């Protein structure tokens, strides 16, 4: 059996029970006590991730799909930059899902998602995902509860299908507090270099905080499965968030039977002149 790293207790893994988002301590920064320790730990993990990524790419038997979800300012972009930015870009692809286009709306809601699923040997990162189609649309009452329940089942079957075809779905919810979101939004207003990140719609969506939290609970509770569990990461502290996300990816890669493909026969007879 391959060696698999254990996940810290601060990461809540949901695969078969009711989830209460209020029970998550967004300020929990264990297992690192400060930024300096977290930086050293992240560098160590990234070295191991780079080694495993090379084998994943060479073997081309498995694919990893990272699904990142969070409330506005939750840290998806920063996580991608700090955790995955050290990997070989040849084997990583980031896909972002914003409001669907006219073409995308003319298809089923999973059509645009399936097109972006990573190929074998690749690590794919979804910045937002198919879960927008059971989150935002419910917060704004675009679909009914009954339709959402149908979609939960469809998403579970979709993820089961991917898993059975060696596309391993790693779902991560970055959870920050309402006070932390306020601080981050205010920092964007105060820093002119971050004004491009701010939209008046951000304040309007913030007013729907409680509805978003309720729908996150529904999504995690209904779509946390044994084959594709949700990992809820306390994300108020960016430095500990990055370590926790890196540990989740490391545990998944170590759980796979990764090995280099066999060498071509006759290599011992080749002489380079």
For residue 82, what is the domain's CATH number?
Answer: 3.40.50.300
Is residue 271 assigned to a domain?
Answer: no
Determine, yes or no, domain membership for 267. no
- Tens of pLDDT, residue by residue, the chain (273 residues): 345 677 988 998 988 778 999 999 999 999 999 999 999 999 999 999 999 999 999 999 999 999 999 999 999 999 999 999 999 999 999 999 988 999 999 999 999 999 999 999 999 999 999 999 999 999 999 999 999 999 999 999 999 999 999 999 999 999 999 999 999 999 999 888 888 878 888 889 999 999 999 999 999 999 999 999 999 999 999 999 999 999 999 999 999 989 999 988 888 888 888
Q: How many domains does the chain have?
A: 1
For residue 102, CA distances in Å to 14, 108, 151 come to 34, 12, 21
Tell me if 268 is assigned to some domain.
no
- Does 272 reside within a domain? no
* CA 240 to each of CA 79, 137, 159, 215: distance values in angstroms, whole numbers, following the listed order: 11, 31, 28, 25
Domain encompassing residue 83? 12-258
Structure tokens at 177: 């507090």
The pTM of this model reads: 0.94
Pairing of strands 230-234, 167-175: parallel
Residue 1: the pLDDT is 37
In a domain, 163, yes or no: yes
Domain contains 76 = yes
In a domain, 67, yes or no: yes
Residue 197 lies in a domain: yes
How far apart CA 136 and CA 153 sit, in angstroms, is 18
Q: Decide: 202 and 185 in contact? Cβ < 8 Å.
A: yes
């Amino acid at each position: 059996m391959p060696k698999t790293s254990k996940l810290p207790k601060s990461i809540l893994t949901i695969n078969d029970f009711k989830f209460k988002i209020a029970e998550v301590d967004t300020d929990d920064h264990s297992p690192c006590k400060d930024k300096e320790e977290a930086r050293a730990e992240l560098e160590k993990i990234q070295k191991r991730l780079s080694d495993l990524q090379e084998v994943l790419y060479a073997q081309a038997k498995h694919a990893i799909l990272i699904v990142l979800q969070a409330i506005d300012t939750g840290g998806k972009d920063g996580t991608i930059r700090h955790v995955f930015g050290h990997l070989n870009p040849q084997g990583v692809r980031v896909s972002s899902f914003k409001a669907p286009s006219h073409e995308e709306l003319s298809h089923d809601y999973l059509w645009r998602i399936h097109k972006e699923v990573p190929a074998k040997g690749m690590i794919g990162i979804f910045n937002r995902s198919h879960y927008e189609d059971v989150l935002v649309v419910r917060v704004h009452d675009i679909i009914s509860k009954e339709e959402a329940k149908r979609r939960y089942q469809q998403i579970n079957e979709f993820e089961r299908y991917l898993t059975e075809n060696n596309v391993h779905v790693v779902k991560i919810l970055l959870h920050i507090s309402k006070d932390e979101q306020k601080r981050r939004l205010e920092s964007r207003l105060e820093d002119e270099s971050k004004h491009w990140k701010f939209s008046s719609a951000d304040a309007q969506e913030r007013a729907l905080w409680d509805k978003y939290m309720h729908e996150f609970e529904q999504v995690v509770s209904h779509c946390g499965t044994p084959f594709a569990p949700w990992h809820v990461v306390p994300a108020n502290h960016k430095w500990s968030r990055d370590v926790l996300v890196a540990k989740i990816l490391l545990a998944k890669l170590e759980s796979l039977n990764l090995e280099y493909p066999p060498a071509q026969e006759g290599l011992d007879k080749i002489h380079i002149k």
